[in-house]
Structure 1
């Protein structure tokens, strides 16, 4: 039930003639603060300490001589950075282009060759080097393969991969809800590989129907475990690359009733595994012997709600949540069990646990510098709409804000792999995105050379922040957009943009509002976005987890009660009030329209979950519990339950090829509205996915449909 993110490419120009480095295209190298940049198909490596001594490690000519075809999409490096894999010709798997072709290049000789030439084109996934640089492993069509770089011999390490049995990567729901894509890890000595095996044989297919791409319709199956259905059976194997024998880890718990969320090698014969139970309110960390398979429980944590093993709203995939310190004798672990997201140090045997960040504000771990013992994390101590970088020293526990005062607003950091430097981007509602390369020890700017430029965003409306307190005593942050010619003596139509679930926030100190509603504000609308309880803002555990077992209930009420306060403002026309949301926000839009028709007169809901039972088990059960434990709330939270109350103007939009929130949601809602003779508008996009962007003219048609409906049903302009 994820919010639909309009893909805004916020690119700041930072190319400098002196060094010709575009820091927006910077890519960090492993275990260092060196980075590489693609400069017209020439791969140039820079060491931040010696920026004038850059080195071209792979040229366009060398790529051509090797027969390379395609564009350079990604590089995978070996540990000593003498060899690289070039990823190209990628294709989409669920959300991202994670399968394609890989080419190997020896950076000392410049010679290269394509890997996996006997396998299906553009089918290789997650290729990476062994530590001895003799082999590369990758996944193709749900099996793991080993390719020797000298001989070119390709050896299958697994052979049972099918559409339903998945080795080395994951099924739909693990990727979507557990941010897991790359499903195998080399051992430190390069002699074995640990991998996930997902058996989705018992997971039912959701069948999407394609009516347009052939003479006869055909079905498109998606393995999709819905709320209440058991998860796929998952286990972790260790395959020896010489004997090809696989040992399976004996991790407690039923493999089809638990989640093996993360895994990492900690020694040549030891793997650490992070497990969540089915309800996701208990996390267990095991150290597993890869020879015997024995799993030793070293840490366990329980919650009355759910446990965030990683920051699910960050958009990051495959990151291991335990960061090792003290030469491997301990690891850093994040938990909000004491009321705030805090960072702890836990001994490797699990016997000692020490609180590191002690302040009463959330600390979201981002990086660690082993040389300085600095832990870097994002925090918002005073204003939850903003983000700043903080540092706590592992030994002294001294804490300081790293982001300088002049960078008010939202700050993001892309850290070097040794935690010494970062690409820093800053913005706020009155300041465009601006980017620089900084040293984290003192936030000293490395690039660009000229002074920081804080430009005003180019837009034809203004933004301001506000707070509103509901009748329930809930204080909510909000962002308001106004036309530039705003006249406080007149009354304006009001347009709410909502999401409201644990995956994203909308009231952010950023220089844009909403991609669709942005187009309406200059015509004479007021735009409002607010974050209710349950959204992932940094206001502590109670705020974020008060929505537990109440998605669709608490968030709907918070939004409506806040709206009632806003309708008291003198410049709001209470007869012209609209609301829009996508995905989870679409569900909130429907609930608001159906349950509070006295407030919301017009609504546009896109790709909404109309019945809580229809969405996937990992997401829904994490926040709502299992259906048989919370059935009354499942019913109350579902928009279809309240569809009979529709009185306003509703436009419902959905793509029939949506593998995330299935088109089934639309048809069930449509049936209910028909049953009660409720008039509404409908726009269906054949074979479009959850984002509704595929196909010529699609996005323009979607925007025009949206705008035309609003301007007719909720007319623009001050009165």
Structure 2
């Protein structure tokens, strides 16, 4: 009996853990803490709207008492706070809870508020929903669209400039609703699945409109509306198959033009807001082999300005169209041997006699002032640096405000230059605050809402006074998040550069473990995107920072390197060197970076892995297949595997037409190199991916099977490109990747070492 009792006590000593030991170490991260809780959520702010010239602004603030949001006005200078609309005023008649305001807009006289709520995604963004108008004078709240409008079907509603009406898109037709009489007038009636008025098809939204598919504009005099119409009757469907939501499979057809396939035919028309026939602009050329990529009124109600790309997207014609006659003339043409970029934030100056423009015509992205007839093109900014983004144009003061970073491509700062082109750019962001600064400038440019973050440090949002950049007050400090981050174990991080084969300096970043010991050797994981759409070496608060930090806590080095072709502000030649051979130069650069890092004495050169998503998945596959001497493990999430399988607008912009460049398509494809796979591959894809179709992974799987190459595969049923739908999906995904790395990279057998370890590389 005694022995049994003692044995039981011994057993209990193994399984009953003291209370102090049961408490999780708050300095250590886990996938559950990062993706399964809201512990590291940033504070929210806005949306904010400037009022008048910028002397005040409004923003939404949570009202816990009313389980909704208050709309609050702040005086910019003094900070005086006034609740303009309380959460209770957002409660519809007969309901008990306020509307959840997801976006809003003021009427020009601020007597009415347009509310966007109950939103649903079309593709990437929630651009359809319900719109309500609230009248401040009497508190009346009413829903737009009339009884025929189904829930969440209105899109891109906007007040007319005179404030009397609201126009919107519903099920591919345009409508105008009179706010006094509540009458609704259809401006188009021919909308269908393939005839699209006032919005766009999948590829226009994804690749040309920055995901925001607003396809119509009020004229400044409120009398007319200019809008796009797309005819998608020749665009083939790519069916997505849902096998899990019913007993039998369901098919979702998506209009998706793959590389080399037929596009929608786009045209622009002007219709009276009171109704009547549409006047179509008379634009020469095959509309299915051109893109009308930008359109807006040209500083008045008589003409519209268009940006039209050819099929190869190496020519951008800036056109002016007459709203009455439909006649069109070209005033400016941008050409490039590779591709040309579209221009946003174009501003008319001098009573419509000139406009601002961005161009790489001199080798760097710079701002220009162009006359209305296009005969005069005068530089505003000069120098060996890129204008990353135009923040705004202060015509009265004579300044152009823009973001740039001449010395550090991973950072962003506010500059201004004289509109007359004289002098040198003036940096306004504080030199003591390195990192990334973005701005929403007031119309009078006396104030701006600044968002500032740096690597590992979450954003702070401040109201600053321009041009001296004096902080008026801090609006969001993320103090709670900062205190939680301060408790985490973390090592040092460094930003540096690695020389490419051609001598160009590739931006790089390296995170080290908290207990880093330079005499030890650590496994190295590279995070890559590598494509024209995004850079990963950013001195800013980032989406994967916490997971990468968790890996350093587990004993990994984590690095990222921006290769040629990424949108780093390093000049035209850097960005466009990848043309016609997507994947070739980029893979060479990533291998060069891995080889350089492997020479550092604390890197275990036999345990170098790479992971990425989308283009980054494509890059991870290429790196593993082509450079098995460097990479032992790769994780590819939602990868493109051959560019003929992707959409035509994106692919042809960077790779040309598949019929004319088959060799370039094949040379950059991981399918060409599957026989080179010698290490560990984890392939992840959502079967409901409407962007990079699951077909890409299926084709790769067939190639790997044919080559008799072992690999690990995870399919997430019906998840889209983000692999984020459904409870615990993100937790499951990152748990899966973490376990795979622990088993195959950190714990896997060492591969043959790179012999030349003499130089560490980097600068």
Task: Please report the TM-score for the alignment, with normalisation by the length of structure 2.
Answer: 0.87
Q: Tell me the residue number matched to 1:337.
A: 361
Q: Secondary structure at the match of 1:127?
A: strand
Q: Which moved more, 1:433-442 or 1:449-458?
A: 449-458
Q: Which moved more, 1:471-480 or 1:216-225?
A: 471-480
Q: Tell me the residue number matched to 1:369.
A: 394
Q: What residue ranges of structure 1 are gaps of 5+ in the alignment?
A: 1-5, 14-21, 311-319
Q: Which moved more, 1:565-574 or 1:43-52?
A: 43-52
Q: Give 1:37's match in structure 2, choosing from 39, 52, 59.
A: 59
CA contact (8 A) 1:491 1:718 kept: no
Q: Which moved more, 1:273-282 or 1:239-248?
A: 239-248
Paired with 1:396 and 1:622, the residues of 2 have a C-alpha distance of 32
1:70-469 counterparts in 2 under 5 A?
70-118=99-147, 119-178=149-208, 179=210, 180-266=212-298, 267-310=300-343, 320-364=344-388, 365-395=390-420, 397-398=422-423, 399-429=425-455, 431-448=457-474, 457-458=485-486, 459-462=488-491, 463-469=493-499
CA contact (8 A) 1:548 1:624 kept: yes
Q: CA deviation at 1:331?
A: 0.4
**Could you report, residue by residue, the CA deviation over 1:100-149 in whole angstroms, capped at 9, with x for unpaired residues?**
11111222332221111321111000101112222111011111111111
CA contact (8 A) 1:370 1:418 kept: no
Whether 1:538 and 2:569 are equivalent positions in the alignment is yes
Paired with 2:51 and 2:222, the residues of 1 have a C-alpha distance of 17
Paired with 2:310 and 2:257, the residues of 1 have a C-alpha distance of 16
CA contact (8 A) 1:492 1:718 kept: no
**Could you report, residue by residue, the CA deviation over 1:291-310 in whole angstroms, capped at 9, with x for unpaired residues?**
11000111111111111114
Q: What residue ranges of structure 2 are gaps of 5+ in the alignment?
A: 1-34, 64-68, 751-763
Change (3 A) 1:452 1:712: closer
Q: Tell me the residue number matched to 1:317.
A: none
Paired with 1:79 and 1:626, the residues of 2 have a C-alpha distance of 47
**Could you report, residue by residue, the CA deviation over 1:48-77 in whole angstroms, capped at 9, with x for unpaired residues?**
14532x443323333226557530111122
Paired with 2:228 and 2:78, the residues of 1 have a C-alpha distance of 41
CA contact (8 A) 1:492 1:717 kept: no
CA contact (8 A) 2:380 2:421 kept: no
Q: CA deviation at 1:26?
A: 5.1
Paired with 1:599 and 1:273, the residues of 2 have a C-alpha distance of 48
Paired with 2:449 and 2:553, the residues of 1 have a C-alpha distance of 34
Q: CA deviation at 1:9?
A: 11
CA contact (8 A) 1:28 1:416 kept: no
Q: Tell me the residue number matched to 1:554.
A: 585
Equivalent pairs, count:
695
Q: CA deviation at 1:97?
A: 0.7
**Could you report, residue by residue, the CA deviation over 1:289-329 in whole angstroms, capped at 9, with x for unpaired residues?**
1111000111111111111114xxxxxxxxx4421112221
1:612-651 counterparts in 2 under 5 A?
612-651=643-682
Change (3 A) 1:270 1:30: farther
Q: Give 2:630's match in structure 1, choosing from 599, 604, 624.
A: 599
CA contact (8 A) 2:258 2:645 kept: yes
Q: Give 2:76's match in structure 1, choosing from 26, 45, 48.
A: 48
Q: Give 2:555's match in structure 1, choosing from 495, 515, 524.
A: 524
CA contact (8 A) 2:146 2:184 kept: no
Change (3 A) 1:441 1:130: same
Q: CA deviation at 1:368?
A: 1.4
Paired with 1:300 and 1:264, the residues of 2 have a C-alpha distance of 17
CA contact (8 A) 1:474 1:558 kept: no
Paired with 2:551 and 2:42, the residues of 1 have a C-alpha distance of 26
Change (3 A) 1:97 1:568: same
Q: Secondary structure at the match of 1:251?
A: coil
Q: Tell me the residue number matched to 2:46.
A: 25
Q: Secondary structure at the match of 1:461?
A: coil
CA contact (8 A) 1:499 1:585 kept: yes
Paired with 2:307 and 2:241, the residues of 1 have a C-alpha distance of 37
Q: Tell me the residue number matched to 2:742.
A: 711
CA contact (8 A) 1:471 1:561 kept: yes
Q: CA deviation at 1:394?
A: 1.0
Paired with 2:653 and 2:476, the residues of 1 have a C-alpha distance of 48
Q: Which moved more, 1:262-271 or 1:54-63?
A: 54-63
Q: Bigger radius of gyration, 1 or 2?
A: 2
Q: CA deviation at 1:431?
A: 4.3
Q: CA deviation at 1:515?
A: 5.0
Task: Please report the TM-score for the alignment, with normalisation by the length of structure 1.
Answer: 0.93
Q: Tell me the residue number matched to 1:59.
A: 86
